[in-house]
Amino acid sequence: MSNHPGLTYQQAGVDTAQASAGLQGLLRWVVQTHTLRQDVGAVRLPIGYYANVIDIGNGMGLAISTDGVGSKLLVAQLLDKYDTVGIDCVAMNANDVLCVGARPLSMVDYLAVQQPQARLLEELGKGLYEGARQANITIAGGELAQIGEMISGVRDGYAFDLAGTCVGLVALDRIIVGQAIQEGDRLIGLASHGIHSNGLTLARRVLLDQNGWRVDQHIPELGRLLGEELLAPTRIYVREVCNMLEAQLPIRALLHITGDGLLNLRRIQAPMGFVIEYWPEPPPIFRLIQERGRVSAAEMYRVFNMGIGFCVVAPPAATAEVCNIARQHGVEAYDLGYAVADAERRIWIRPQRLLSVRHAFVLDEPA
């Protein structure tokens, strides 16, 4: 166990509360654009959900979401390996489009580089292709920006940023934002591939800076190089979730567990909370971060996916079929808990004795 004080995401350099507060000034202007179109082109959801939906006429909506890969790109630079982060770029966008009940169709990418290194671009393209193949989407175009004066990283000449925008289709009367969740509906978790693309700043601070490990170091608890574990691509849930939708299962909510960890469950529209009764053993990478950084359980479940990368909310009668479809696609599924009426949309994680309070988890002390 490290002698350093327990780290938080904020101490590692990511202040989500400050970002939320600062975002209000930007949003004050952005939301005013929603009044500019009242028919085709009208925005159908408030800003803040995983994706938004634009009315394109004839009762159909264009779902749209944008996201990047984040500081996972620094791990790629440290390991000098770039052929998987394109998968993450697709995953972060296509998975979010799923969350409104849409079928992802296509995306574009934005790549900013310090220098246009041929090997870097080739490997990034390889990953983007593999992500698109897994998500069954096309990549219709993109932008390459050479901004050496603006971008820096940890490997000279190879600094870059990668983001994308994905679109999909959904009937306007089939949009899913958790509006129909009822008491007793089951919360079903789909397994992650590990850390995915969120919390890498905290992971790097603990494992590389505090603990002194290298990305090319074999870690027995992981069974591979540390860098390989941190670069494990974000799982893409498109095929299994689309199968659930095509089977017309009564899906009440679809939730991508990304930044803010299990607090993502609070995004739903209905005034409902969740009681989590069971949680599978998280992958070893999370235990290493928690133990080596003395990170509290509350902070771990606020920052990381903790082994569950996507959640489906459905009535009890549909739980078995949701799990069966996921497993048919090689994804383990778990019946985690149930929905409860709660105007504060609180999350109780009973195995860890945690309760969400606003934008954090705290220890749920017995009354």
What domains lie within the chain, and their CATH numbers? 37-174 (3.30.1330.10), 186-363 (3.90.650.10)
CB 231 within 8 A of CB 84: yes
What digits encode the pLDDT tens for the residues 52-96? 999 999 999 999 999 999 999 999 999 999 999 999 999 999 999
CB 153 within 8 A of CB 277: no
With 90 as the cut, is the pLDDT of residue 11 above it?
A: no
Mapped onto helix, strand or coil, the DSSP state of residue 109 is strand
Q: What pLDDT, on a 0 to 100 scale, did the predictor assign at position 318? A: 98
DSSP structure class, residue 88: H
What digits encode the pLDDT tens for the residues 197-234? 999 999 999 999 999 999 999 999 999 999 999 999 99
Percent of the chain with pLDDT over 70: 97
Residue 7: pLDDT band (50, 70, 90) is confident
Mapped onto helix, strand or coil, the DSSP state of residue 38 is coil
Residue type, 29: W
Q: Cα dist. 106→51, 103, 166 in Å? A: 14, 10, 6
Residue 3: pLDDT band (50, 70, 90) is very low
Q: What pLDDT, on a 0 to 100 scale, did the predictor assign at position 367? A: 55
Q: What pLDDT, on a 0 to 100 scale, did the predictor assign at position 354? A: 98
Tell me what the pLDDT averaged over the chain comes to.
95
- The phi and psi torsions of 296 (rounded to 5 degrees) equal -65, 155
